[in-house]
Structure 1
Amino acid sequence: MSSVPAAAGDTRREPTSEDFIAMQNSPQFQKLRATYRNFTFPVSIAFFVWFVFYVVVATYMPDTMAKPFLGLNVGIWLGLGQFLTTFLITYVYVVYANKNIEPQAAAIREEMEG
């Protein structure tokens, strides 16, 4: 465990294991978990389905993937779509987390550390 020097006037306290257990069982923490899970689980499942679709089409329909479309073949466009959706999901998550998750986590941190 690293020791971080306290800032002048910093009155943070070190929570005990009992504090962490109590917080984990609190409605405030359960709401934070639900907020996190309501975004991450559906988006993770959707991206996994999209990725499996790409792999299955590439494996079982190579002729479809090789068809030209807008100057490139369909496979290249779908592959680029994988990258695009990764960046899009990351951006949307950051916006969602900053708006919904971080304020709740900060409130819990403030309550735990004083």
Structure 2
Amino acid sequence: MSTTGERSAGTIYEQVQRSPEFAELRRRLRRFVFPMSAAFLLWYLAYVLLASYAPAFMATKVMGNVTVGLVIGLLQFVTTFAITTIYVRYADRHLDPAAERLRHQIETAA
């Protein structure tokens, strides 16, 4: 049975969620994810808008039958892999160590 003090403090998960360490982890994640997501969505939107409103430009041949539209479309895949690689490196350096400390804190408290 929990005491009144334990109830007011909440579960260990609630305590961790209110901790400055968790707030910092969330801030670091958002600092990466939101700008990167916005940049990629703008890049993708630019591709869609070019395909819709500049078909002559997108049909411009670069080399043989390879067009600007095809190159930009393939660059969308390259961008996706690049963002994934950058995120993994960012998470390894900035997110995973902090998350590991929080996990350890939860496990030792349980």
Find the partner of 2:101 among 96, 102, 107.
107
> What is the aligned partner in structure 2 of residue 70 from structure 1?
63
Paired residues for 1:32-71 under 5 Å: 32-71=25-64
4+ long deviations beyond 4 Å: none
> Within 1, Cα distance between the matches of 2:92 and 2:48?
33
Give the structure 1 partner of residue 15 of structure 2.
22
Give me the whole-angstrom Cα distance separating, in 1, the residues matched to 2:56 and 2:73.
Answer: 15
| Structure with bigger RCO (C-alpha 8 Å, 6+ apart) | 1
Per-residue CA deviations over 1:29-85 (Å, capped at 9, x if unaligned) read 000000100000000000000000000000111100000113410000000010000
RMSD of equivalent CA atoms: 0.9
Structure 2 CA distance, aligned partners of 1:111 and 1:21? Answer: 13
1:79 equivalenced with 2:79 (yes/no):
no
The TM-score, its normalising length taken from structure 2, stands at: 0.86
Structure with greater helix percent: 2
Give the aligned length: 98
Q: State the shift of 1:18 in Å.
A: 1.1
Which has the higher mean CA deviation after the structures are superposed, 90-99 or 66-75?
66-75
The code of the aligned residue for 1:46 comes to: A
The letter for the 1-side match of 2:86 is V
